[in-house]
Structure 1
């Protein structure tokens, strides 16, 4: 059986809550998670960037680091990495074939399969530590089935309200479910007061204490742009100090390695002349961060174009409208997945003198880019699912996928 084809035929966007399937599959693999030091990252925004920063600093200090993140931009292999090398197709095939009957028996989801596969891969390849990004929520997310030594909370705000709840209290309660008695440390970035109260209450129930970052520092980041990334970097630096103490890791030049960290799709400069930027920001807080970054910068450029598309579950019209006002033209498109937000409906809710709809993303990118002058600017915004189309036009702009075979 071709394991990649098997996974491609599973709806990667379909969510199954509960830890029982993950726990069953872990047991089938002889519980690899119990033999690995792991750190879980939960929150709404900044999980991937924070994970990437921690991973990069540890790698540069000579450690073997497993990294599990989601979703991917181009290839599913991106979700599981060791020291920036993607999991091989051959290991994916081997894993699926070995545990196929168990996967079918329990009806494991795409994310559940990848979560367990990551732990098995990390164990077989002797990682020193694994950094695990929570997929959605916390209480019933697969990553919370692992016996994580540390827990990190990035900013908690509104997203996935159709699943997690439509109030910040409900969302926080779901994410606080990641708190476990096995956590040797729990840290968090700055949060609004309501979030802090709920996190602390849930931590108290498990006899745990949460330490909060008190001051956001200027980390002089080369690749990760925006004030929100400074917040992520400060949190990552705090986490590294905890990891160093807990595991007796020797970490030098943390600030330098934090500064040099690259994580694709986060206000990523794809091209400089013309200026092309891609960001996967897809919720209200993320779009506000993008607006704050561009509001002063954007006047440097001549014609300014925004290409945007989201999933149908996002409640972001007010923020998109505000961002659109910075641009000369706005083009709405769709992500190409079943629950993509209607570009036509979205365009009808935004007031702007130059609004267009184009559903053929590959052709749209080629056309817009081909008409750009050297001092023009293009922002592509809204989804990881744009990654494949962007990578086709701007070859290998995210990473080198040559090691997947």
Structure 2
């Protein structure tokens, strides 16, 4: 099949067969192809966002702020929930199949015999689209880690690390110090390095200082003060009072917003942003699958302890009603920790099997449940959602969580119903 006749589905299927490993960290291969495509020195201002949790919402908020300020903005995020095109957006509009296929064709012609992973192909495609669209600002979400992630071929003008938790330990290390060092790899000398973790690993701080980055840590160099239905943000030279709360609820989202504002302030000389843009973007923040409320359904992709804590705190702050949890998880995620963290907020569980080599069967997940938990097991999401609705009755609510795959499957059922 010629490159010109391939559909987007054809390209994506083929990309997953091109490299012998689904994940291979390292920058040499993807940088070589980017150089051939003249993508390494973008005209656009670049904001890179890493961290264990909060990357997606922070990236989306940064893009919304710059768009509200009148800039043309490219946003690259991953993974997607329903459609691959979600990963690449310009001014909030997802890239078309044709645009992505054109990018893939150029990348294929440039790579020659260099093997690329699925994620590397997608990262290059996003950079290609942003270059061809001539965006003013590009916001790039790190896929995994930071130092060796494909996004890191671009030197960020400002980089944000939202949080550091224990996730992807097989790739990043088995403690926060090792993981912190990997995440600090997106920082650059003499450029803003924004940290939103309340107790950042020393390795992250040491690396930022060693390379001469402009290190800014929440509660040390900038702060956020919530009050009523708004909040104040301040650093030693600037203060914004009575900003509206982010459209996604929770204390973690306030910290994420504080970091994004710090990055925007650090780049004011190159891309001025006024308070009106902040006030427009903050309440407009929405992200499918992140504390995503649709009627009595709540969708949240929480797949590690830190994300589960954020979800549990959110549920605790809402009126108490009968709550049914629909949970599906991958076997390499901290299942017992997630269940323990959420259990106080969940009255009964509906467990669903996830497919694939990493998926966990519902019966296996049930073995992680507390002894007296009310548990039902289902093999498909359609069955799980029907069981959850029956258990919730007319007044209860349903929380779908545990994995991007879980939430994606549930949202796909919603789309079918619509």
The two structures have a TM-score, normalised by structure 1, of 0.89
CA offset digits 1:23-53 (Å, max 9, x no partner): 1120221225433321111111111111111
Q: Which residue of 2 aligns with 1:172?
A: 180
CA contact (8 A) 1:26 1:33 kept: no
> Which residue, 11, 14, 19 being the options, matches 1:6?
11
Which of 19, 25, 31 is equivalent to 1:23? 31
Report deviation, 1:263: 1.5
Q: Which residue in the other structure is 1:192 paired with?
A: 199
Unaligned residue ranges in structure 2 (runs of 5+) = 232-243
Which is further off, 73-82 or 8-17?
Answer: 8-17
> Taking structure 1 as reference, are residues 259 and 294 closer, same or farther at Cα in structure 2, changes over 3 Å only?
same
Greater length-normalized contact order (CA 8 Å, ≥ 6 residues apart): 1
- Residues 267/94 of structure 1: CA separation in 2 closer, same or farther (3 Å cut): same
Q: In the alignment, what sits opposite 2:52? A: 44
* 1:93 match: 101
Partner of 2:330: 311
Give the superposition deviation at 1:363: 3.0
Q: Which residue of 2 aligns with 1:73?
A: 81
Is 1:130 equivalent to 2:138 in the alignment?
yes
Kept after mapping to 2: 8 A contact 1:332/1:347: yes
Of 141, 156, 159, the residue aligned with 2:149 is 141
Question: Partner of 2:349 in structure 1?
Answer: 330
- Find 1:155's aligned residue among 138, 155, 163: 163
Alignment of 1:81-120 (within 5 A): 81-103=89-111, 105-120=113-128
- Kindly indicate which of the two structures has a greater share of residues assigned to strand: 2
Partner of residue 359 from structure 1, selected from 355, 369, 379: 379
CA distance, structure 2, for counterparts of residue 212 and residue 353 of structure 1: 41
Counterpart Cα distance in 1 of 2:394 and 2:334:
34
Residues 193-212 of structure 1 correspond to what in structure 2 (within 5 A)?
A: 193=200, 195=201, 197-212=202-217
TM-score, length-scaled by structure 2:
0.87
Q: Secondary structure at the match of 2:268?
A: helix
Change (3 A) 1:199 1:258: same
Runs ≥4 residues deviating over 6 A? none
Partners of 1:367 and 1:259 lie apart in 2 by 34
Tell me the equivalent position of 1:265: 289
In structure 1, the partner of 2:406 is 386
Structure 1 residues without counterparts, runs of 5 or longer: 399-405
- The size of the alignment, in residue pairs, is 390
Matched residue of 2:186: which SS? Answer: coil
Aligned partner of 1:226 in structure 2 is 250
